[in-house]
Chain A
Amino acid sequence: MTDFTMKTDADSVAIITWDVPDKTMNVMSIDGLEELNDLIDNALADNAVKGIVITSGKKGSFAGGMDLNLLAQMKADAGDDPAKGLFEGTMQMHHLLRKIERAGMDPKTNKGGKPIAAALPGTAAGIGLELPLATHRIFVADNPKARIGLPEILVGIFPGAGGTTRLVRKLGAMSASTFLLEGKMVAPAAAQKAGLVDEVVADPVAAAKEWVLNATDADLLKPWDAKGYKMPGGAPYHPAGFMTFVGANAMVNGKTKGAFPAAKALLSAVYEGALVPFDTALKVEARWFTNILMNPSSSAMIRSLFINKEALEKGAVRPQQVPDQRVKKLGVLGAGMMGAGIALVSAQAGIEVVLIDRDQAAADKGKAYSASYMDKGIARKKATEEKKEQLLSLITATPDLDALKGCDLIIEAVFEDPKVKAEMTQKVEAVIPEDCIFASNTSTLPITDLAKASSRQDQFIGIHFFSPVEKMLLVEIIKGAKTGDRAVAKALDYVRQIRKTPIVVNDARFFYANRCIIPYGNEANRMITEGVAPALIDNAAQQLGFPIGPIQLGDETSVDLATKIMRATKAAMGNEYPASEADDLIVWMEDLGRLGRKAGKGYFDYDEKGKRTGYWKGIHDKYPLAEEQPDLQEVQDRLMFVQALEAVRALEEGVLMDIREGDVGAILGWGFAPATGGPLSWLDMIGTPYAVERCEELAAKFGDRFAPPALLKEMADKNQSFYGRFGPEKQAA
């Protein structure tokens, strides 16, 4: 199979077309690089070729990037010395791109090269932009849907095929940072304005050919290869550049809380590269790129956030024999915050939605949420009136259950009360088709129990959304004891339609996500009662990469929700319930009316605009600050293990059926330290023997909740890792 083909026209321009077979979008592979290298060599050596245009055979896109599976492979293939393999492989990539950039020109006079242009039909990401950046001019089709950029940082690496070095030299460190550090992808017009590409045209291949035929020697010479080159905005020890670099260090450190090795490696590649000539800078970039690929954090991030996330989205755990279950008509019961959000995201996916509530006004209010969401989009020029009308026309808001006729999926999002839910289930089942799947969006009630109200328990399932629905990426699908395969397939196909990431778990108290989040919040509360500074607890979590700390999270989700969960758990568990001082804390706060953000007071004080003004000092009247504050590490270990051990128990108890779901679900569901790749990846990273050792220390100091579960102990004894023992390859074997 060939990824690249070359054809030279009568006008002596060689057109190299990138078209990877059986893919909707091109990705770069080792073979692809070799093919491209040969074609470039041939074209440069062929006297009949005046210039080269590199384009794509895919409609609407040039390339989506590097095949990240392949990077992992490259590392594995390098055997004993993976760093050497990665470094040399990366340098080969640089040699190819540098060959394109220099295009055969005389190294002294910079004359005599062949013009090479890139003609992008649309989207160009990662190496899909790094390759064009090495050419002499970039033409992009006028396709507003196309996205141009370098998103590598989002999966825990950075542009390592010269993109970092070229973009900084092209735009300056400040302007390049939006693309390198944030992974921002922009439409062609914006890309041109920012200087990422040169021209936006109707027919990029024709325009590129035209340019190639008229290009002069000077047109081929990159500024950094010309004499007297100065970096835009100043190099690091130039007075202006000094401020930029010092500022960038602080901003990146503050923003990432030091938790993202890729950002650090990127900054170092930029800084060290800026101090040396271009070819040396590429070598510096390759060394840092190798370094980040060798970092266990980046491998874990790539595995969870790219490879496994995509696998789950594509149905890795879907019952294969069940035919397509895509939803045509969805019934949403309850038009409150969750129901309204579910209606919105479903209508966005083009699904017809019937939104039910007890009266017309309540149902309309739920629909109005979609209208106001679209209005915000229109104000930000992300949507149009037309799109809004189209979306709203898909949603029928009504109190009339008869409207549910013809639905093939129902999602119930009414009040969290088993009685109310049971009643609703029965009423609705009387109306809906017999083969309709019924799902509950409960976050706390066991699905198996709720299913008892149904006359078709095999068609009853849990579809647990996170709030706010339109923002949160994860959907947790819960199988009750009697839930059948078609219900699972239905839920998965639906989640795929609304473009979220699913995990499928078995039924147990709090399912997977909440079973980890609740002890996490409890641990923070316990620390407060021990006199640990609230700032230390939240900062400790943020330094692990959690978007907000557990105490702030407590105010966002509200203290009365915490007490409600606590009381329900206590009632369900009876004598088994592990009561703690943390319970007294939240009950006390509830009594004081300090319910969190919604009450304008909670763990924090708020001003009249609802802005946090600082931690509530009054909490220390009951729980005085300890004279000696614990080490950051200890606070972090407590917060991490209390969650990771729940993930292990969930696996041990069969709630989690696939460890990939445990990791992806944790990062997407509640923002678990992304740089670890998830709780199970984290345990692999620190090693199960150390995890057991540390847990035993914590258990001795803080209680049995840290006692390592039997599975973890067994794995530690055998020095096993989770991905070694439970990884998808192992399961397939």
Chain B
Amino acid sequence: MSNENLFHISSSPHIRDKRTISRIMLDVIIALLPALVVSTIIFGARALVITLVAVVAALITEHIISVLLMRKRTTIGDLSAIVTGILLAFNLPVAIDPILAALGSVFAIAVAKMAFGGLGFNFINPALAGRTFLMASYPAAMTGAIFAQKGYGGKLPENLSGMNLDAVLGANAIDGISQATPLVAIKKLQELQDFDLLDLQEAFAPLFLGNVGGTIGETSALALLVGGIYLIYKRVINPLVPFIYIFGVFLLYWIFGGDYSHFSGSAFTVPMFQILSGGIFLGAFFMITDMTTTPITLKGQAIFAAGCAIITFLIRKFGGYPEGCSYSILLMNLLTPLIDRYVKPKVYGTGGAK
């Protein structure tokens, strides 16, 4: 037999791919690294410690549940628990108690993921479920002080941060500062009708680079963008989905944004500020692209992303919370089976000819 491949007989599947779950998850972890590095620079080593705690807690929980309760081989090898841990930590403020970070991880893995059967069976994003759990249980710790290291370079203008940072930091006597996150600030200022567009424009650079208050992983749009482009290059995610989400929020803010003429330059300031701040980029590249909890078809994913954009906009604009990104994704997670049902692709060869 010289050419045994030619006569190889086997049952389906016939088309195989080298891509495995652990390979995809590894790519996601690599893509998350830039944001982790940037947050360590901005918030200090504590950001790294919190992330490590969350990851370790997620791994231990998954190992214990899969071995002791489900009585099968441990599933931590697929690396998905690491991704969940990192994503959860990215959604936490850096000042949070590490015990709470671990608790959130345990909840994310045990209740949101393993209780439903593990990877592939969970219907909501485990990391976001963990965040929501902490949010409902410890609201003070989740929205409390956000501090940065000494020598905190980036700064929101005084009007947005509520303090003269040059004066505060010039004294050089403090380890960190706490200030309102950009979204809290703009929500307050919009209620007071007291903000200057130039202030917002001045904030674009720090927002893009990440030198602002916020949770560990969400602040740097640039780092997340780098990770997202890596994922797109590796074909783990489809660029259309994050694009629809980010552009959708931008568009909604542009249309319903405010008092400016829609084609003047100032009409784009608020939408730009909104997409750069908060968790939009984190959600767009790492959460609404999750394979388990989003629709299967590209059409379904596009509907999913558009729905997320609408809900995010509604919560930010009219809701009580300054940020609506994570709740919008959780709500759309629940709608995923419905979307899948209506965008089911036609089986080739069935259905009448037109």
Q: Do A and B come from one complex?
A: no
B residues touching A (Cβ–Cβ < 8 Å)? none
